[in-house]
Structure 1
Amino acid sequence: MTGNDLFYALVLQHIPNMGDATAKKLIRKFGSAENVLKEKKSALLKLDGIGEAKVRDLQNKEHFKAAEEELKFIEKNNVQTHYFLEGSYPEKLKHCLDSPIILFSRGNINLNKRKIISVVGTRQITAHGITFCEKFIEDLEILNPVIVSGFAYGVDICAHKAAIKNELQTVACLAHGFQTIYPKAHKKYINQMMENGGFYTDFWSTDKFDRNNFLKRNRIIAGLSEATVVIESAEKGGALVTADIASSYDREIFAVPGRPTDKFSSGCNNLIRRQNAHVLTSAADLVYILNWKADEDPKPVQKQLFVQLDSEEQKVYDYLNEQGKTELDALALNCNFPTFKTASLLLNMELKGAVRPLPGKIFEII
């Protein structure tokens, strides 16, 4: 994308009552943002959803001045830009009607052919929530996923830190531009985030933090990934909004169940009760539902000389040792375990270096 193309796309993005869906519709119709801004008024007014107010905004020179300033900031600060028609634009986000025409990033983000999940939840995460979040991400390490969240207090920063600890790429979606950071207490994590992933936002450098921005930010969190995981949430909260957006994008939703009396489990329990989310009790649940397999270039795992298996894992191991390669459902049937439990056992055994998955949900001992 040339500087000239970026400039006109920025002009279009700056128009407040245009909306991303309408902007993308116009760009596809006329071929480029520049063509849209130079199109005759009569041609624009013939389109559905384009009235006098929008046409006047397209001709407002204030948007051109603002775009000039933003372009200077982008070039001076080496901000990476991702246009919705280009290859660098996140693939899963392309399929969201209201995704931004331009996404800004900083860091070393690489989403190409990667497994991506969003992890969200309450800002008032409990000790139980922290323990689950850390163990959940640790158990996914072998699959080398990208962990997406919102860099806020609570579940968000817990997920980012767990990803960094396990040397996984992690991406924070911000509700403001790159001239500021919220919350300020999380500035100390910026360098680690940049080394292990980075930041996305569709807000401009002049956009300060505002709680009203969270809804717009949440659509990026939901749109980047193939599944959204809610660790903990009260009956109402931003995490549930993100889950609802993800559902509207036809993505999978997972929720960690809790006791009925726990305040910050009520939102998750409601998602599960209404059948709006899969029950998530371990990483194995997500791996099974999403049918994830190891990357072509997975994170290296050091095989133990003597693998310690519990009695149930040993039963699965013995069957594989005797019968050889076996499909998951057949393994569950012959070992007399539910399929979801067998999937969990196999994941634990894979992490211990005892078995490995093959295409078609087939497993064999190492």
Structure 2
Amino acid sequence: MNSEDLLYILALQHIPNLGDTTAKKLIRHFGNAKNIFKEKKSNLLKLDGVGSVRIKEINDSGHLKAAEDELKFIDSNNIECHYFQDIDYPEKLKHCIDGPILLFSRGNIDLNRKRIISIVGTRQITSYGMQFCEKLIEDLAPLDPVIVSGFAYGVDITAQKAAVKNGLQTIGCLAHGLNQIYPKVHKKYVGQVEENGGFFTDFWSTDKFDRNNFLKRNRIIAGLSEATIVIESAEKGGALVTADIAGSYDREVFAVPGRPGDKFSSGSNNLIKAQKAHVLTSAADIAYILNWEIEVKQKSVQKQLFVQLEDEEQKLYDFLKNRGKTELDLLALNCNFPTFKTASLLLNMELKGAIRPLPGKLFEAI
């Protein structure tokens, strides 16, 4: 978009209490942001939800002046702007009614044809939660997902560091402008994240840091992804809000179960108990629910002398070889394994090139 278009979009975004949903309605009705500021008051009043107070704000020249200043900041700090009607706007976020009309980014973000998941949880992550998070991302690495989180303490930074370690793209969604980093102690990770992904926010450089911003930020974390994963959470917390938002967007939600009575498992356990989240015990659960298929070379396993199957994997392979294409649940039943364990074994076998997934949750031996 050109500078003039961006200027008026910024001015519209700057209007207090307008909201992204109403802003999108105005843009779609009048064609673009500039036309809104040039439109007659009588025509603006015809739209539901606008009203005289908002019209007064639209006619306030202070919003254009603020937009000019922010545009200078954007131009001088190598910041990318993503307009909700442009092709470079994150595809999954386009389908969220309250997604931002304008999103700012910095780094090397590439979401084209990518699997994207969000990982959230408590800021007071336990050793169990940390180990599970790191192992989960390590096991997901062959599927090359983008890991989205909030760059905060605890689960967020654990997930993003693990993504970098495993060569995965990671995105930090910030609750402030791109002129600062919170928490400050995480500044040392900024370069690694920008090299392996980057940052998204819809806050301006002039927005004051406020803890209430986290709630607004969470809709971007949930909206970017096809699934949100809650590693650990107390009975109340921002991770649960993000999970609820993801559910409202009709996205999948996963939660890691914990022992009854554990403070930072109560939120996750409650999500599972209320059937608001799938039980997550391994990377295979995600691959199975999201129907992620792994591309493998279609060679006979007998010819791949380097492939070594464990005893349980060999049992599954032999059944598939004799029976042919089989659904996961039926495979688990016949081989006398729990479904979740079967899914985990199948994922390992796919990575070894022993089997391949088929549409309809079917599997066959190669």
TM-score w.r.t. the length of structure 1 is 0.94
- Work out the CA distance in 1 between the residues paired with 2:147 and 2:202: 19
1:283 paired with 2:283, answer yes
3-state SS in 2 of match to 1:105: strand
Asked if 1 retains the 8 angstrom alpha-carbon contact of 2:296 and 2:351, the reply is no
- Work out the CA distance in 2 between the residues paired with 1:312 and 1:273: 31
Determine the structure 2 residue equivalent to 1:357: 357
Q: CA deviation at 1:365?
A: 4.2
Determine the structure 2 residue equivalent to 1:99: 99
1:36 paired with 2:29, answer no
Gaps of 5+ in 1: 298-303
Determine the structure 2 residue equivalent to 1:20: 20
- Work out the CA distance in 1 between the residues paired with 2:295 and 2:11: 40
State the Cα deviation string for residues 220-279 of structure 1 (Å, max 9, x = none): 001100111000000111100111111111111110000012110000011111111111
- 5 Å matches for 1:206-225? 206-225=206-225
* Greater alpha carbon shift after TM alignment, 313-322 vs 283-292: 313-322
Asked if 1 retains the 8 angstrom alpha-carbon contact of 2:118 and 2:221, the reply is yes
- Work out the CA distance in 2 between the residues paired with 1:189 and 1:291: 32
Determine the structure 1 residue equivalent to 2:57: 57
Determine the structure 1 residue equivalent to 2:127: 127
Q: CA deviation at 1:82?
A: 0.4
Asked if 2 retains the 8 angstrom alpha-carbon contact of 1:115 and 1:144, the reply is yes
Q: CA deviation at 1:65?
A: 0.7
Q: CA deviation at 1:343?
A: 1.4
3-state SS in 1 of match to 2:106: strand
- 5 Å matches for 1:202-351? 202-294=202-294, 306-351=306-351
Asked if 2 retains the 8 angstrom alpha-carbon contact of 1:167 and 1:196, the reply is yes
Asked if 2 retains the 8 angstrom alpha-carbon contact of 1:81 and 1:104, the reply is yes
Paired amino acid for 1:30: F
Determine the structure 2 residue equivalent to 1:301: none
Paired amino acid for 2:219: R
State the Cα deviation string for residues 127-146 of structure 1 (Å, max 9, x = none): 00001001111111111111
Q: CA deviation at 1:305?
A: 5.8
- 5 Å matches for 1:176-191? 176-191=176-191
- Work out the CA distance in 2 between the residues paired with 1:26 and 1:231: 39
* Greater alpha carbon shift after TM alignment, 238-247 vs 306-315: 306-315
Q: CA deviation at 1:351?
A: 3.3
- Work out the CA distance in 1 between the residues paired with 2:186 and 2:296: 34
Asked if 1 retains the 8 angstrom alpha-carbon contact of 2:296 and 2:350, the reply is no
3-state SS in 2 of match to 1:211: coil
Paired amino acid for 2:52: E
Q: CA deviation at 1:345?
A: 1.0
Paired amino acid for 1:102: L
3-state SS in 1 of match to 2:200: strand
3-state SS in 2 of match to 1:128: helix
Determine the structure 1 residue equivalent to 2:300: none
Determine the structure 1 residue equivalent to 2:138: 138
3-state SS in 2 of match to 1:349: helix
CA, structure 1 residues 38+154, in 2 after alignment: closer, same or farther (shift >3 Å)? same
Asked if 2 retains the 8 angstrom alpha-carbon contact of 1:288 and 1:340, the reply is no
- Work out the CA distance in 2 between the residues paired with 1:58 and 1:268: 43
CA, structure 1 residues 36+2, in 2 after alignment: closer, same or farther (shift >3 Å)? same
State the Cα deviation string for residues 280-302 of structure 1 (Å, max 9, x = none): 111111111111113699xxxxx
- Work out the CA distance in 1 between the residues paired with 2:46 and 2:322: 72
Asked if 2 retains the 8 angstrom alpha-carbon contact of 1:180 and 1:208, the reply is no
3-state SS in 1 of match to 2:212: helix
- Work out the CA distance in 2 between the residues paired with 1:245 and 1:295: 32
Asked if 2 retains the 8 angstrom alpha-carbon contact of 1:130 and 1:155, the reply is yes
Q: Give aligned-pair identity as a percent.
A: 74
Q: How many residues align?
A: 361
* Greater alpha carbon shift after TM alignment, 119-128 vs 317-326: 317-326
CA, structure 1 residues 274+324, in 2 after alignment: closer, same or farther (shift >3 Å)? closer
Cα RMSD (Å): 1.9
Paired amino acid for 2:47: L
State the Cα deviation string for residues 87-141 of structure 1 (Å, max 9, x = none): 1111111111111100000111111121111100000000000010011111111
Q: CA deviation at 1:308?
A: 4.5
Determine the structure 2 residue equivalent to 1:149: 149
Paired amino acid for 1:155: V
Q: CA deviation at 1:191?
A: 1.1
Paired amino acid for 2:147: I
State the Cα deviation string for residues 192-218 of structure 1 (Å, max 9, x = none): 111111000000111243211000100
3-state SS in 1 of match to 2:281: coil
